C-alpha cells in the first residue's frame, strides 16, 4: 500500500471516530477575541497541523490543473452514498435524517459540500449525527442533484419544496463549503418567493463567489484550487452567469437574513471572498459573526481536531 493511500486511510479513520479519537489528545488553548463580529481562534493545534499535512498530500489533481478538471467533469459519475443512517424519499431525492422530529427542539437542514460535484460522505453523516445528539435537533441532509449532469436550478426547486415542508418548525439552515454557499443563495432566493427566513444560518467556509474572479494562492490551500473550481463552477451554473446570486451569493441581496454565523480558516483560498461577503452582510444590516481559525484550513469545524470542539461550542451558544 502506498504512503498516500495510508494517509488517506488514516484520515478516513480519524473522521469516522471523530471526537472520540481526540478527546485524550485535546490541547488546551484560549480564544483570541478580536473585534465584533469577527472572532479569531488562536494558535493552530498540533493535531490540526497533522491533518493539514495529510490533506495537502491527498489534494485532488483536478483542483489545480485545468485539463484534469475537464477530464474529471467528463468522466464523473453520480454514485449513491452508502450509510448506516436512515433515509427517506422526497420527490425522488434521498434525504438522510438524524434524530426524532417530534421530540426535537429544532430542525436543521444541512446542505453538504463537495464543490457541487462530490457526494455526501461519511464526514457529513457523522457531523449530522453529532448535531442531532448534542443539540437535540432533527437533522435532514438531502442528496441533492450534482454537476455536471445537473445545475443549480434543479437543486433550488428541490430545496424550495423541502423547505416548505419544514418551514413551520424552529428551522436552521447549515452547510459546508459549496453547501454553505448554496444555503446563503437559497436564503436570498427565499426573499423572492415570500417564504419566511430560517431562525438561524450557520455555514462553514462557504463558497460565495463561483466566478472565482479574484487572485488566489492555491498552493497554500491543502484542499482547494482555483483552476479546477472555476471549471466546476461553470457546470454548476448551467445557463446562468456565474455572478448570478443563485450561483454566487456574494452578488446577492441579504435583506431580512436571520442571525448568521460563519466559520472560515484564514489559510483557505475562499477567505478573502468570505471577508467581502461579511462586509455585504453588515451593509444589509444582518446580525452576523465571522469566526476565523488562525492558520486553519477549509471547513476546519468538521475535522476531528481540537479547534472543531470549540467551534461546536460557538454553534451551541448561537442557537440554544
98 strand-pairing partners? 139
> At residue 8, does pLDDT exceed 50?
no
> At residue 285, does pLDDT exceed 50?
yes
> At residue 10, does pLDDT exceed 80?
no
Q: Which three cell numbers stand for residue 173?
A: 439552515
Residue 60 CA to residue 228 CA, distance in Å, equals: 10
**Lowest-pLDDT range of 31-35, 38-42, 66-70, 191-195:** 31-35
> At residue 288, does pLDDT exceed 70?
yes
Picking from 284, 234, 223, the residue whose alpha carbon sits closest to that of residue 257 is: 284
> At residue 68, does pLDDT exceed 60?
no
* Model confidence pLDDT, tens digit, residues 74-116: 555 556 556 678 999 999 999 999 999 999 999 999 999 999 9
> At residue 21, does pLDDT exceed 70?
no
pLDDT score, position 55: 63
> At residue 5, does pLDDT exceed 60?
no
Instruction: Kindly list the structural domains of the chain, giving each domain's residue range(s) and its CATH number in brackets, ordered by start.
Output: 3-319 (3.40.50.1820)
Share above pLDDT 90 across residues of the chain, in percent, rounded to a whole number: 64
Q: Which three cell numbers stand for residue 152?
A: 443549480
pLDDT score, position 220: 79
* Model confidence pLDDT, tens digit, residues 198-228: 999 999 999 999 999 999 988 778 888 888 8
> At residue 264, does pLDDT exceed 50?
yes
Average pLDDT over residues 58-62: 56
* Model confidence pLDDT, tens digit, residues 138-160: 999 999 999 999 999 999 999 99
Residue 297 CA to residue 117 CA, distance in Å, equals: 20
Share above pLDDT 70 across residues of the chain, in percent, rounded to a whole number: 75
pLDDT tier at 36 (50, 70, 90 boundaries)? very low
Q: What is the DSSP string of the chain?
A: --HHHHHHHHHHHHHHHHHHHHGGGPPP--EEEEETTEEEE-SPPHHHHHHHHHHHHT--GGGT-HHHHHHHHHH----PPP-SS-EEEETTEEEEEES-TTT-SEEEEEE--STTTS---HHHHHHHHHHHHHTTEEEEEE----TTTS-HHHHHHHHHHHHHHHTTS-EEEEEETHHHHHHHHHHHHHTTTTPPPPSEEEEES----TT--S---GGG-SS--HHHHHHHHHHHHTTS-TTSTTT-GGGS--TT--EEEEEEETTSTTHHHHHHHHHHHHHTT--EEEEEETT--TTGGGSSSHHHHHHHHHHHHHH-
pLDDT tier at 38 (50, 70, 90 boundaries)? very low
pLDDT tier at 45 (50, 70, 90 boundaries)? confident
pTM over 0.85: no
Residue 286 CA to residue 253 CA, distance in Å, equals: 11
pLDDT score, position 53: 64
φ and ψ of 263, to 5 deg: -110, 140
Average pLDDT for the chain: 83
Amino acid at each position: 500500500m502506498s504512503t498516500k493511500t495510508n494517509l488517506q486511510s488514516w484520515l478516513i479513520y480519524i473522521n469516522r471516530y471523530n471526537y472520540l479519537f481526540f478527546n485524550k489528545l485535546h490541547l488546551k488553548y484560549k480564544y483570541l477575541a478580536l473585534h465584533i463580529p469577527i472572532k479569531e481562534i488562536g494558535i493552530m493545534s498540533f493535531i490540526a497541523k497533522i491533518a493539514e499535512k495529510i490533506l495537502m498530500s491527498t489534494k485532488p489533481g483536478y483542483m489545480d490543473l485545468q485539463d484534469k478538471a475537464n477530464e474529471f467533469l467528463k468522466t464523473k459519475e453520480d454514485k449513491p452514498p452508502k450509510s448506516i443512517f436512515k433515509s427517506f424519499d422526497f420527490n425522488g431525492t434521498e434525504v438522510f435524517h438524524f434524530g426524532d422530529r417530534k421530540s426535537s427542539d429544532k430542525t436543521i437542514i444541512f446542505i453538504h459540500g463537495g464543490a457541487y460535484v462530490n457526494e455526501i460522505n461519511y464526514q457529513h453523516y457523522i457531523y449530522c449525527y453529532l448535531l442531532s445528539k448534542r443539540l437535540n435537533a432533527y437533522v435532514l441532509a438531502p442528496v441533492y442533484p450534482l454537476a455536471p449532469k445537473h445545475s443549480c436550478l434543479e437543486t433550488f426547486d428541490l430545496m424550495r419544496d423541502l423547505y416548505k415542508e419544514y418551514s413551520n418548525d424552529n428551522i436552521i439552515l447549515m452547510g459546508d463549503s459549496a453547501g454553505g454557499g448554496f444555503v446563503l443563495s437559497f436564503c436570498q432566493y427565499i426573499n423572492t418567493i415570500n417564504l419566511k427566513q430560517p431562525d438561524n444560518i450557520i455555514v462553514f467556509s462557504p463558497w460565495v463567489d463561483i466566478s472565482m474572479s479574484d487572485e488566489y494562492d492555491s498552493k497554500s490551500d491543502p484542499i482547494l484550487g482555483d483552476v479546477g473550481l472555476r471549471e466546476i463552477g461553470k457546470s454548476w451554473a448551467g445557463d446562468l452567469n456565474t455572478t448570478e446570486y443563485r450561483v454566487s451569493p456574494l452578488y446577492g441581496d441579504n435583506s431580512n437574513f436571520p442571525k448568521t454565523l460563519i466559520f472560515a480558516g484564514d489559510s483557505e483560498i475562499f477567505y478573502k471572498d468570505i471577508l467581502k461577503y461579511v462586509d455585504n452582510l453588515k451593509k444589509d444590516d444582518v446580525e452576523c459573526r465571522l469566526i476565523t481559525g488562525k492558520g486553519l484550513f477549509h471547513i476546519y469545524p468538521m475535522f476531528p481536531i481540537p479547534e472543531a470542539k470549540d467551534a461546536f461550542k460557538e454553534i451551541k451558544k448561537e442557537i440554544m
